[in-house]
Amino acid sequence: MPTPCTYNGSLTREQFLLREMRVTARTLIQEHLDQERASQRICADNLYQYPTEREQRSIARACIRRLMGVSSDAMTREALIDLVANGSSEQAAQAVVYALMCDNRLVWEFMTILVAERYSAHDLTLTNQDITSFVNGIAASNETVAGWSDATRNKIRQVLNRMLVDAGFKENVRTSELLPVYLDAELAHIMQANGDAPALAAFGARGEA
């Protein structure tokens, strides 16, 4: 499990990026996983349809980092990239959540602790206050997160909530109810091959130890 051991606040600017991750995955495949060529093509062809090249380049780096960093095993990594690029919208959304979990410690812990516990307990209540309390709880024990401003923590709470909506875990950002999630079998196989069977619980499934 390649999850970073430190926390960072990049989620405030990089966010979930489902559409951009799909574009990036397809471009990586077309460029035979050449990261530099994929980044150049995204910017040259304005594939994200962003107003500035600077923003496009920054997000391209983030998407490529998430996709290429999901596993040290080439076959596992390529299977994930293919799922994001060519899977159904539901498959891609779940795969992007997993890629973000592998890239961001806070997202990993949010999904495997808070969300997984709710599914495990068959308690589908998850309020904005629950998410805020979770982030504040990390801040109470970690200097890095404690140093984030209230605005940063609130923005991260919003991004996490929006991620749940975009990935099919919640109906909208105002609801306090989690939806039942049916983990894609191919993504489950990728997680297990990557040594991340415990992460299946974040999608309401059980993994083998």
pLDDT of residue 3: 60
**pLDDT range class, residue 197, cuts 50, 70, 90:** confident
The DSSP 8-state label assigned to residue 199 in this structure reads G
**DSSP 8-class letter at 45:** T
Side chain identity, residue 3: T
User: Can you give the residue ranges of every domain in the chain?
Assistant: 11-203
Rounded Cα distance between 194 and 75, Å, is 10
Q: Given CATH 1.10.3540.10, say whether it is the number of domain 11-203.
A: yes
Tens-place pLDDT, residues 101-154? 999 999 999 999 999 999 999 999 999 999 999 999 999 999 999 999 999 999
